[in-house]
Amino acid sequence: MKQTTLIKTADIAKKWYVVDATGATLGRLSTQIAMVLRGKNKPTFTPHINNGDHVIVINAEKVVLSGKKESDKNYYHHSMHPGGLKSRNVATQRKLFPERIIERAVRLMLPKNVQGGNQYRALHVYAGSEHPHQAQNPEVMIIKSNKGDNK
Protein backbone atom coordinates (compact mmCIF):
# COMPACT_ATOMS: atom_id res chain seq x y z
CA MET A 1 0.00 0.00 0.00
CA LYS A 2 1.30 3.44 -0.97
CA GLN A 3 1.87 5.78 1.94
CA THR A 4 1.14 9.48 1.48
CA THR A 5 2.45 12.33 3.54
CA LEU A 6 -0.16 14.69 4.89
CA ILE A 7 0.34 18.43 4.89
CA LYS A 8 -0.60 19.97 8.20
CA THR A 9 -1.44 23.62 8.68
CA ALA A 10 1.21 23.96 11.38
CA ASP A 11 3.91 22.76 8.95
CA ILE A 12 3.27 25.52 6.40
CA ALA A 13 5.79 28.35 6.46
CA LYS A 14 4.19 31.59 5.32
CA LYS A 15 6.42 34.21 3.71
CA TRP A 16 5.77 37.91 3.38
CA TYR A 17 6.18 39.68 0.05
CA VAL A 18 6.10 43.38 -0.76
CA VAL A 19 4.95 44.59 -4.19
CA ASP A 20 5.33 48.08 -5.61
CA ALA A 21 2.29 48.86 -7.75
CA THR A 22 3.88 51.89 -9.44
CA GLY A 23 3.20 51.64 -13.17
CA ALA A 24 1.82 48.08 -12.94
CA THR A 25 -1.30 47.16 -14.89
CA LEU A 26 -4.18 46.35 -12.54
CA GLY A 27 -5.18 43.02 -14.07
CA ARG A 28 -1.68 41.56 -14.34
CA LEU A 29 -0.81 42.75 -10.85
CA SER A 30 -4.00 41.29 -9.38
CA THR A 31 -3.63 37.85 -10.97
CA GLN A 32 -0.09 37.42 -9.71
CA ILE A 33 -1.04 38.60 -6.21
CA ALA A 34 -4.03 36.22 -6.14
CA MET A 35 -1.76 33.34 -7.19
CA VAL A 36 0.58 34.01 -4.26
CA LEU A 37 -2.31 34.42 -1.80
CA ARG A 38 -3.74 31.03 -2.86
CA GLY A 39 -0.33 29.34 -2.73
CA LYS A 40 -0.37 28.27 -6.38
CA ASN A 41 3.28 29.27 -6.74
CA LYS A 42 4.33 26.50 -4.34
CA PRO A 43 4.87 22.84 -5.24
CA THR A 44 2.76 21.84 -2.23
CA PHE A 45 -0.40 23.58 -3.52
CA THR A 46 -3.54 21.88 -2.28
CA PRO A 47 -6.93 23.50 -2.97
CA HIS A 48 -8.42 22.72 0.44
CA ILE A 49 -5.46 24.02 2.50
CA ASN A 50 -4.55 27.68 2.87
CA ASN A 51 -0.81 27.54 2.18
CA GLY A 52 -0.61 30.99 0.57
CA ASP A 53 1.69 33.79 1.64
CA HIS A 54 1.09 37.35 2.82
CA VAL A 55 1.34 40.14 0.24
CA ILE A 56 1.91 43.82 1.01
CA VAL A 57 1.09 46.22 -1.84
CA ILE A 58 2.51 49.75 -1.67
CA ASN A 59 1.84 52.77 -3.92
CA ALA A 60 -1.67 51.56 -4.74
CA GLU A 61 -2.64 54.99 -6.07
CA LYS A 62 -0.10 54.62 -8.90
CA VAL A 63 -1.59 51.47 -10.47
CA VAL A 64 -2.38 51.80 -14.19
CA LEU A 65 -5.55 50.85 -16.05
CA SER A 66 -5.50 50.43 -19.81
CA GLY A 67 -7.75 52.24 -22.28
CA LYS A 68 -10.52 54.53 -21.05
CA LYS A 69 -11.24 52.51 -17.90
CA GLU A 70 -10.26 55.45 -15.69
CA SER A 71 -13.45 57.24 -16.70
CA ASP A 72 -15.66 54.42 -18.05
CA LYS A 73 -15.26 51.63 -15.46
CA ASN A 74 -17.73 51.94 -12.57
CA TYR A 75 -17.84 50.40 -9.11
CA TYR A 76 -21.37 49.79 -7.84
CA HIS A 77 -22.73 49.55 -4.29
CA HIS A 78 -26.33 49.12 -3.18
CA SER A 79 -27.65 50.07 0.25
CA MET A 80 -30.51 47.50 -0.10
CA HIS A 81 -33.07 50.32 0.08
CA PRO A 82 -35.19 51.45 -2.89
CA GLY A 83 -33.13 53.78 -5.05
CA GLY A 84 -29.99 52.93 -3.11
CA LEU A 85 -27.70 52.12 -6.05
CA LYS A 86 -24.49 54.14 -5.85
CA SER A 87 -21.74 54.17 -8.47
CA ARG A 88 -18.26 55.64 -8.73
CA ASN A 89 -15.83 55.61 -11.61
CA VAL A 90 -12.18 54.67 -11.13
CA ALA A 91 -10.97 58.29 -11.09
CA THR A 92 -13.26 59.12 -8.15
CA GLN A 93 -12.39 55.88 -6.36
CA ARG A 94 -8.68 56.64 -6.79
CA LYS A 95 -9.12 60.04 -5.10
CA LEU A 96 -11.18 58.70 -2.18
CA PHE A 97 -9.94 55.14 -1.53
CA PRO A 98 -7.07 54.09 -3.85
CA GLU A 99 -6.49 50.86 -1.90
CA ARG A 100 -9.94 49.54 -2.74
CA ILE A 101 -9.16 49.36 -6.47
CA ILE A 102 -6.54 46.65 -5.92
CA GLU A 103 -8.39 45.02 -3.02
CA ARG A 104 -11.54 44.52 -5.09
CA ALA A 105 -9.68 43.21 -8.14
CA VAL A 106 -7.80 40.63 -6.06
CA ARG A 107 -10.81 39.64 -3.95
CA LEU A 108 -12.87 38.82 -7.05
CA MET A 109 -10.07 36.50 -8.26
CA LEU A 110 -10.08 34.43 -5.06
CA PRO A 111 -12.55 31.59 -4.35
CA LYS A 112 -16.00 32.63 -3.17
CA ASN A 113 -15.96 30.55 0.03
CA VAL A 114 -14.47 30.54 3.54
CA GLN A 115 -11.04 29.63 2.19
CA GLY A 116 -11.10 32.66 -0.13
CA GLY A 117 -11.95 34.92 2.81
CA ASN A 118 -9.02 33.56 4.78
CA GLN A 119 -6.69 34.10 1.83
CA TYR A 120 -7.99 37.63 1.30
CA ARG A 121 -7.08 38.48 4.90
CA ALA A 122 -3.41 38.00 3.97
CA LEU A 123 -3.56 40.96 1.55
CA HIS A 124 -2.35 44.31 2.90
CA VAL A 125 -2.72 47.31 0.56
CA TYR A 126 -1.40 50.82 1.25
CA ALA A 127 -1.82 53.97 -0.85
CA GLY A 128 1.63 55.36 -0.05
CA SER A 129 5.10 53.89 0.02
CA GLU A 130 5.15 53.24 3.79
CA HIS A 131 3.83 50.12 5.52
CA PRO A 132 3.91 48.92 9.16
CA HIS A 133 5.11 45.36 8.38
CA GLN A 134 8.89 45.82 8.51
CA ALA A 135 9.16 43.37 11.42
CA GLN A 136 8.05 40.51 9.14
CA ASN A 137 11.09 41.07 6.85
CA PRO A 138 9.13 41.02 3.58
CA GLU A 139 10.87 39.96 0.38
CA VAL A 140 10.48 42.07 -2.75
CA MET A 141 8.25 40.38 -5.33
CA ILE A 142 8.87 41.28 -8.96
CA ILE A 143 5.72 41.62 -11.08
CA LYS A 144 6.13 40.13 -14.55
CA SER A 145 4.79 42.23 -17.41
CA ASN A 146 4.17 41.09 -20.96
CA LYS A 147 4.99 44.40 -22.58
CA GLY A 148 6.69 43.69 -25.89
CA ASP A 149 6.04 39.94 -25.70
CA ASN A 150 3.25 39.98 -28.29
CA LYS A 151 5.25 38.14 -30.94
Of residues 132 and 146, the one with the higher pLDDT is 132
Q: Helix (H, G, I), strand (E, B), or coil: what is residue 27?
A: helix
pTM of the model: 0.88
C-alpha radius of gyration, the chain, whole number: 18
Q: Which domains are assigned to the chain? A: 16-65+98-140 (3.90.1180.10)
Q: How far apart are the first and last CA of the chain?
A: 49
Is the pLDDT at 151 greater than 50, yes or no? Answer: no
For residue 24, which of 71, 62, 52, 53 has the smallest C-alpha distance?
A: 62
